Amino acid sequence: MKVLVVGSGGREHALCWKIRQSPLVEAVYCAPGNAGISKHAECVNIKATDIENLIRFVKAEGIELTVVGPELPLALGIVDRFTEEKLRIFGPTRLAAEIESSKVFAKNLMRKYKIPTAFFSTFYSFEDAVRWVKEVKPPLVVKADGLAAGKGAVVCHTEEEAIEVLDAMMRGGIFGDAGSRVVIEEFLEGEEASFFVFTDGEAIVPLETSQDHKALLDGDQGPNTGGMGAYSPAPVVTPEVYKKIMDQIVVPTINALREEGRRYKGVLYVGLMIKDGEPKVLEFNSRFGDPEAQVLITRMKSDIVPVLNAVVDERLSEEIVEWKNEASVCVVMASRGYPGDYKKGIEIKGLESLEAMENVFVFHSGTAFSNGKIVTDGGRVLSVTALGKTIPEAIYLAYSAVSKIDDGSLYYRKDIGKKALKYL
């Protein structure tokens, strides 16, 4: 079969790389893709949000399965439009994807179905929100209702900071309409983990556990980014915690969505805070994480295509997914200045030297070709991923690979995976 992957990041590169290995697949396309993806898929110059042109392309090429990477096309209803056209697509409908695209919807769903999460209130006016901040006292977390490219949640340690953030979101319009409603929630302490499941709306197949590193700087300091690195498995998720995540969070959420008439098909991403063995939901996302996909997909032993097909065709209960025992670690190399302003077009040298390294996979995010060379073209540039027998081995291998391309022009964290070591 022919498969189209929608998106252009490290997550989509990992998906194309894995899908390309399936004996069921004769061709992989990626829209729009990037320089690295073009090694594993034919890149097509159509934006991920240009749904009507994607439909035309899929029909013209006879593509039998489309896999959506990022959240924006899902929130715009790509799955609904493809389904209307009788085209097979992996991902949730617009209404099901509201679990990510509306924090208010997600929080209300959790309240209604008693799914453990931070205490919260919703605000439609700046004045009411400020009154609340003065009453409850920081630390607290202000969250824009809509999609804000990972920047919509701000942890506020002082009253002034909270009011400043509320002003920017609700009156300054920094996130446009997405910030006109906000959720203010209790600050949760603990350790974060990411938990993913494949689901067809009834059957659930969990992926392995993982942890992202959202903050820019070592020791989880500095501003939040899309993710500076990840590792899998995440030992903070003990077997007891795993059971609680499934019983108290994942199963009730999938059932709740079905009961609400929003049957969820695709990958559900649960962002968790874990304290004293008790998991609580920080957020849901309607897709694979980036860079979590890079570590999870490199650990996946089974062919991914039958699983994607089973989700689309609502027969996931027949699928068994096998995982490698090895640990995986991904170090993100980013343009200096990210998540703020940064330069593009800087040549990335040394990529060839990594090709011969066993158990090292370099997934590209913001890269492009320029005069036959690979250059930077975005904030996050490369996801250098390595498999090892243990997390320390995978960390060592990932950083050995990073050192071969590190000429000082890209920034990366030096402590990816370190948090796992205290459990070993």
Q: 3-state SS of the chain: helix, strand, coil percent to 5?
A: 35, 30, 35
Of the candidates 309, 205, 311, 319, which has an alpha carbon nearest to the alpha carbon of residue 251?
205
Among ligand AMP, ligand GLY, none, partner that 188 touches (CB below 5 to 8 angstroms by kind): ligand AMP
Q: What is the DSSP letter of 178?
A: G
> Contact between 192 and ligand GLY (CB under 6 A)?
no
> Contact between 152 and ligand GLY (CB under 6 A)?
no
Quick one: which H or E segment has residue 51?
helix 51-61
Q: Which two tokens stand for residue 21?
A: 């290995």
Strand partners, 363: 383
In this chain, which of 66, 180, 199, 285 binds ligand GLY, going by CB under 6 A? 285
The contact pattern for ligand GLY, residues 220-239, with x = CB under 6 A and - = no contact, is ------xx------------
Rounded Cα distance between 251 and 113, Å, is 11
**Which residue of the chain is nearest ligand AMP when measured via CB?**
153
> Contact between 289 and ligand GLY (CB under 6 A)?
yes
> Contact between 292 and ligand GLY (CB under 6 A)?
yes
Among ligand AMP, ligand GLY, none, partner that 227 touches (CB below 5 to 8 angstroms by kind): ligand GLY
Which amino acid, one-letter code, is at 187? Answer: F
* Count of positions on this chain that bind ligand GLY (CB under 6 A): 8
Q: Answer yes or no: are the C-beta atoms of 186 and 116 closer than 8 Å.
A: no
Q: At what angle do helices 159-166 and 126-136 cross, to 10 degrees?
A: 160
Q: Answer yes or no: are the C-beta atoms of 104 and 145 closer than 8 Å.
A: yes
The contact pattern for ligand GLY, residues 122-151, with x = CB under 6 A and - = no contact, is ----------------------------x-
Among ligand AMP, ligand GLY, none, partner that 393 touches (CB below 5 to 8 angstroms by kind): none
CB of 280 to ligand AMP, least distance (A): 8
- Could you tell me the sign of the dihedral formed by the alpha carbons of 200, 203, 208, 214, in that order? positive
Of the candidates 153, 175, 163, which has an alpha carbon nearest to the alpha carbon of residue 126?
163
First to last CA, the chain: 43
CB of 287 to ligand GLY, least distance (A): 7
Strands 327-335 and 380-388: antiparallel
> Contact between 12 and ligand GLY (CB under 6 A)?
no
CB of 100 to ligand GLY, least distance (A): 9
Instruction: Tally DSSP H helices, then E strands, for the chain.
Output: 15, 23
CB of 56 to ligand AMP, least distance (A): 34
Contact set with ligand AMP (CB under 6 A): 118, 141, 143, 153, 155, 185-188, 192, 214, 224, 271, 282-283
Strands 2-7 and 65-68: parallel
Among ligand AMP, ligand GLY, none, partner that 235 touches (CB below 5 to 8 angstroms by kind): none
* Closest CB to ligand GLY among residues 117, 309: 117
CB of 64 to ligand GLY, least distance (A): 27
Among ligand GLY, ligand AMP, none, partner that 118 touches (CB below 5 to 8 angstroms by kind): ligand AMP
Among ligand AMP, ligand GLY, none, partner that 289 touches (CB below 5 to 8 angstroms by kind): ligand GLY
Q: Which residues bind ligand GLY (CB under 6 A)?
A: 150, 212, 226-227, 285, 289-290, 292
